[in-house]
Amino acid sequence: MAGRVRIGVDVGGTFTDFVLVDETRDLIFTGKQLTTPDDPSAAIMEGVARLLLESKVDVGDVHNLVHGTTLVTNTIIERTGAKIGLVTTEGHRDALEMGKEIRYDLYDLFLEAPPTLVPRHLRRTVAERLSPDGEVLLPFDEVAFRGAVRGLVEEEKVEAVAVSFMHSYRNPAHEKRAQEILAEMFGTIPVTISSDVAPEIREFERTSTACANAYVQPLMQSYLERLAVQLRTAGHGGTLYIMLSGGGITTVRDAQAYPIRLIESGPAAGAMAASYYSMISEAENLISYDMGGTTAKMCLIDGGQPDRKHDFEAGRIRRFAKGSGLPLKVSVVDMIEIGAGGGSLAYVDQMGLLKVGPQSAGSQPGPVCYGQGGVEPAVTDADLFLGYLNPDYFLGGEMSLDLGDVEKAIDEKLAKPLGLSVLDAAVGIHSVVNENMAAATRMHLAEKGRDPRRYDMIAFGGAGPVHACNVARLLKLKRLIVPLGAGVTSALGFLVAPPAVDYVRSYVSRIEQIDWDYLNALFANMEADAEKMLVEAGANPDEISYQRTSDMRHVGQGFEVSVPVQSGTLNESQTHSLRTNFLNTYEMLFERAVTDVPIEAMSWRVAAFAPVPNIALNFKAQSRVEGEKLKGRREVYFFETGFAPCDVYNRYALVEGDIIAGPAIIEERESTTVMPPGTQAAVDSSLNLIIELNA
C-alpha cells in the first residue's frame, strides 16, 4: 500500500526510541525520550506526539504503530508478575522443582536453584492421563478440577491460571475442556493452557512456558489495552502491532494471549534492522552490535538473516550458566545480551578490581552527568570525561550533560580506592566495558563454531558507535558499518520486520514409520493458522511464504537438530530426502555422519512470513546544520595519543563519497561515532559510514 505513515517505538531501559516513516514523502523522522519506567506508555505518548509535530504529520494519517518492549523480560527477572496457580496431572505437582534433575554447576555446594514462578501451595493436581500417542488412558475428572480451581481463585486469590497436563501436546482435549470450565466459572480470568502456548514434547519446559505466560499475562493485557486506549483517545486511527521475539510482528490480541512470545521483543528489532542493512549494503555476514543505555546485544547475521532458536532461558541466576534460569519454549532471535550500556555502573569489587555492570543507573536517576541525582559513575560519565561526547549536543542539544560532578564521582568512587588518577580510572571504565562486550561476542562466535574473519560489524544504539571501533578491533575485524540515525536503529527495525509467525507441533516418530496423512494434516493446520494470523496483521495472503523444518535426532540422543522439510503434500517417498537432509545437517554441525543409527523426528515447525517492507532511507534531521561539515575541534582522549585536538564533524552534512580519516568524532542527534587514529570512513549511497579499521 503506497503513501503510508508508520511509526516504530522501542522502549529500552534508559531511552525510548522512535522512528516515523512517511512513505508519501520518502522521509524518515527520528526521536528519543527518557523512558518512564513506572508507566512506559507515558514516554510513548509524549514521544509520538513530538514526532508527529516535527514531521508535520496529522495523527489521523498514521497507518500503524509497531511496538517492542522489555516489560515481559523485566517482569520475570524482577519477579514482579501476577500471583498464579498451576493445575497439572495427578502425580506431577513437583515437575517445576525437579526440572531436568541436572545441576548447572556440579561443584558449587551452595548452588542456588532458579526460583519457580508458582510456589508449591498454589499447585493443584487432578486425575487424567493420556498416552504418548494421545490416547485417553484415564478420563479427565471435571469435578476435581472445578474444586481445585475454585480453591485457587476464590481462596488463594490467584490472578491467572496455568494448565499443563501430560502429553497434551499430542491431544489437547483435556486442556481445552479445562479452559472451557474456567471460562464458565470465572469469566475473564486469564488462562494459559500449555498445548496452546508450547505444544511440544518435554513436560518441564512446556509447563515452565505455560506458567511464565500466565505470570506476565495480567500485566501485559492491561498495559497493551491501556496503550491502545491512549492512542485512540489521542486520535490515532492506525493499527497497533507488537514485535515478537523471533523478529516478526503480530496483533495486540495475539500478544495479549501469548505475551511470553514477547520476551525478547525489543532486542529482536535491532537484529531485524541489521538484517535489513545487510540486504541493502550487500554485507551478507554481520555481527549486529546494539549498545544502548542499559545493555549491549550481539547477534550474528548470516546470509542476510539473523540466527534463530526455539528455546530460551529467562532470568538466569548466573548470566552465562545454562540451566540457571527458567526454560521457555519460544522462538527467539539468537543473541547474547550483557549488562554493558551507557548507564552501566563502574565500581571496585571485593578483590579491589575495577568492574563495570551489569547494574545500571537506568533513566532515573541515570549517570552522574544527567544531573538527576546519580552519584555512581557510569560508562556515559567516562565517555564524557574522555571527550567523546559533546555536553551541549546530547540528544541534539535537547539534554545537556554536566561534567561538574563527574570528575568528583570518578575520583571518590574509583580513582582513590584504586590508587589511580581520574584519567586512568575513566580510561579503565571505557576499556573494561569494551573488553566485556568483546569477550561475550568471542564466546558467542566460538559456541557456534563461526570464524570472526568472515564478519563485518554493524553498530547502533545510543552508545554503540562510541565504542564500536575499539570493540571491533578487539575482535580483529576489518570493517564497521554505522548507519545514519544509529541511536534509533532498533526502532527502525520494527518497520522493516515482516509480519511473521512460527508454529510447532510435536509428533514423535521414526522417519520410516511416519503417518503421512497425519503429518500432512498437521502442516495444513499450522499453515492455515499462520495465514489467518498474518492476514489479521495486515499481510496479503497471496504473498505469504512458508518454511517447514523438523527437529530430528538419532534414536537415543537427548537433543535435536533443525532439518529442512519440503513443501507440498508429503508421502513415504520423502523418507529418503528427510534422511539425507538430516545427515547433511548433522555432518555440517558435527563434522561426521552416523549412517547406521535410526533417525526420529520429534517436532514439526512452520515459519510463515510476508515480504519485508521496502523503505527508502531518507532521514530528515531535525537539528541539521546546513553547509559546514566540520563543526570544530575539541580535546579527545585516544589510547594512541592521549588527549589531543580532534576534528568534530556534523553527521547530517556528510554526503555520499565523503572520506574522513581518524582520529575524528562524528556527531548526530541520537549518537556519536568515535574514530580512533588509523581508521578511515567513507559515506555510501545510503549515508552509512563504512569504516575501515586498519586504514
| pLDDT value at residue 2 | 44
Model confidence band, residue 287 (pLDDT cutoffs 50, 70, 90): very high
Q: Would you say residue 609 has pLDDT above 70? A: yes
- Residue 469 has what pLDDT? 96
| Residue 164 contacts residue 206 (beta carbons within 8 Å) | yes
Cell of 366: 541515570
CATH architecture for residues 80-216: 3-Layer(aba) Sandwich (3.40)
Residues of the chain with CATH 3.30.420.40: 5-75+222-262
For residue 576, what are the contacts with CB-CB under 8 A and spacing of at least 6?
A: none
Mean pLDDT, residues 482-494: 86
At 315, the pLDDT band (50, 70, 90 cuts) reads confident
pLDDT at 620 over 60: no
Residues 6+ apart with CB under 8 A from 17: 9, 10, 30, 31, 32, 487, 488, 490, 491, 670
Q: How many CA atoms, within 13 angstroms, populate the side-chain half-sphere of residue 572?
A: 5
* Mean pLDDT across 550-570: 92
pLDDT band for position 396 (50/70/90)? Answer: low
Whether residue 267 has a cis bond before it, omega within 30° of 0: no
Share of the chain above pLDDT 70, in %: 96
Task: DSSP for 546-579, please give it.
Answer: EEEEEEEEETT-S--EEEEE-SS---GGGHHHHH
What number is the average pLDDT over the span 28-56?
A: 86
**Does the structure show a pLDDT above 80 at 317?**
no
- Spatial strand order of the sheet with 561-565 comes to 500-510, 599-609, 545-554, 561-565
Q: What pLDDT was estimated at residue 363?
A: 65
Q: Does residue 20 register a pLDDT over 80?
A: yes
Q: What is the pTM of this model?
A: 0.84
pLDDT at 625 over 50: no
Question: For the residues 545-564, what does the mean pLDDT come to?
Answer: 92
Least confident of 6-20, 336-350, 395-409: 395-409
Q: Indicate whether 13 pLDDT > 80.
A: no
The pLDDT confidence band at residue 10, using thresholds 50, 70 and 90, is: confident
pLDDT of amino acid 622: 43
Q: What digits encode the pLDDT tens for the residues 207-258?
A: 999 999 999 999 999 999 999 999 999 888 788 989 898 888 888 999 999 9
Higher-confidence residue of 682 and 266: namely 682
| Residues forming a β-bridge with 15 | 34
Question: Taking residues 58-75, what's their average pLDDT?
Answer: 85
Grid coordinates belonging to 596: 547406521
φ/ψ (deg, to 5) at 664? -160, 155
Q: How far is CA 11 from the centre of its chain?
A: 11
Least confident of 76-85, 361-370, 454-463, 622-631: 622-631
Alpha-carbon torsion (104, 110, 116, 121), positive or negative: positive
Place of cell 498437521: 522
Topology of the domain covering 5-75+222-262: Nucleotidyltransferase; domain 5 (3.30.420)
Alpha-carbon distance of 636 to 384, in angstroms, equals 10
pLDDT digit string, tens, across residues 144-199: 999 999 999 999 999 999 999 999 999 999 999 999 999 999 988 999 999 999 99
| pLDDT score of 29 more than 70 | yes
**In the chain, where does the domain assigned CATH 3.40.50 lie?**
80-216
**CA distance linking residue 672 with residue 394, whole number of Å:** 9
Residue 599 has pLDDT above 90, yes or no: yes
CB–CB of 402/384 below 8 Å? Answer: no
Between 613 and 432, whose confidence is greater?
432
